[in-house]
Amino acid sequence: MFTIRQLSVLCRAASGVKSWGRYSTLAEDVLSDSTFRIPLIDFSKFRNATSVQEKRHTADEIVNGFKEVGFVYLTGHGISPELIDRVYGKSADFFRLPADIKDQVAWDDPRANRGYVQVGRERVTQSSDAAEIAALRAKAPDSKETMEIGRDWDPVWKNKWPRETDAPGFKETMLTFFQTCHDLHNVVMKSIALGLDLQEDFFGRRIHQQCHNLRLLSYPPIRTSLLQGDGQARAGAHSDYGTLTLLFQDSVGGLEVQNPHTKHYQPAPPIPGTIVVNAGDLLARWSNDVLRSTLHRVVAPPMQKVSATEGVTPARQSIAFFCNPNFDAVIESLPTCTSATCPSKYAPVTTEQYIVGRLAATYS
């Protein structure tokens, strides 16, 4: 395992930041691509704090990361590596199943947002125009397959589980992980509340219904020539929809984050033992854009040569837990994020109105 100091050096080195001399502030670093970095934060200091003052230090780090970049790395998050490894294993087992078995649990409804999505069906983008998204999908579909899982006790929208005989232990593992990620989301939102000068429990009654989405992602090997066309990517540039995304990366890499200041994409490399956490659209709206919902994408990692003119990208796995407010929660600018000189930029919207609208346009 790495120490927090070693991880900090690794994080800065991977981002091209010199690690000697005076440490500049995050606000200074992100102004240039050569010094851009995603802050690495030890969240155990918040989880184990014994006073509000101790919590506030970490809370300010997290809020500052979302203000300047929209992304942070969390170490000390409390999710065991054994559970994460088990989820990766069960996810890989599912995606290895024959297509006809996976198709039995196919995604078919944006409000439900549950089930298997085959390669090429989704095209993530910032556009909300259905015709434009359809054209993008035809020209440059995302080269990934996914499995979408929601709260299992929903009275209307049911998860689509493969049969236990086809995927032993899959359902049990994913339900355990879903609850674990919700618990972490709840604590991170407490830190954000403190960092925005709100009561620590401000978001609690607005996120407790667990209207989240656990997404298992598999990026199959693909010839690099297929990723070199205009607009091609493993997953196109987009922001996420909800409050936070908890992203678990394997060692392959490929995630890139847009520098909000230069608009150029910068790598967000895997760092052992960490979770990548980014703010989503609804948290940005809640904070009146004090917190950033930053564009990001997945590109091809270094290829493996198969001939003098062609290469193949390695397979990649990731796990994304999309944290959402309650579907009936009204998202409107927080009082601590507005003023006479900075009025609200957004009309109130419910979580359901916003997310279902975006999902309906994203899928074919």
Query: How confident is the model at residue 363, as a pLDDT?
Result: 61
pLDDT at position 9 is 44
Ranges of H-type helices in 245-316? 281-286
Give yes or no for a contact between 238 and 297, defined as CB atoms under 8 angstroms apart: yes
Asked, for residue 195, whether it belongs to a domain, the answer is: yes
Identify the domain containing residue 339 by its residue range. Answer: 37-362
Residue 125 lies in a domain: yes
Between the alpha carbon of residue 108 and those of residues 101, 116, 138, 157, 175, the distances in Å are: 16, 9, 19, 11, 21
The ranges of the chain with pLDDT < 70 are: 1-23, 120-142, 223-235, 301-311, 363-364
21 assigned to some structural domain: no
Residue 31 placed within a domain? no
Query: What is the tens place of the pLDDT at every residue in 127-155?
Result: 444 444 444 434 445 678 999 999 999 99
> Does 17 map to a domain?
no
| pLDDT in the model for residue 39 | 97
Helix (H, G, I), strand (E, B) or coil at 331: strand
CATH number, domain of 125, equals 2.60.120.330
Q: Evaluate whether residue 46 is within a structural domain.
A: yes
User: What burial class does residue 202 get, using C-beta atoms within 10 Å of its C-beta: 0-12 exposed, 13-18 middle, 19+ buried?
Assistant: middle
Note the pLDDT of residue 180: 98
pLDDT value of position 139: 44
CB 336 within 8 A of CB 288: no
Dist CA 291 CA 336 (whole Å) = 12
251 part of a folded domain: yes
- Please give the tally of structural domains in the chain: 1
Q: Could you report the per-residue pLDDT of 230-277, keeping only the tens digit for each? A: 444 556 789 999 999 999 999 888 899 999 999 999 999 999 999 999
pLDDT at residue 4 in the model: 44
Closest Cα partner for 24 from 39, 6, 10, 46?
Answer: 39
SS3 for 119-138 is CCCECCCCCCCHHHHHHHHH
- The answer as to whether 27 is a domain residue is no
Residues 6+ apart with CB under 8 A from 363: 107, 110, 117, 121, 122
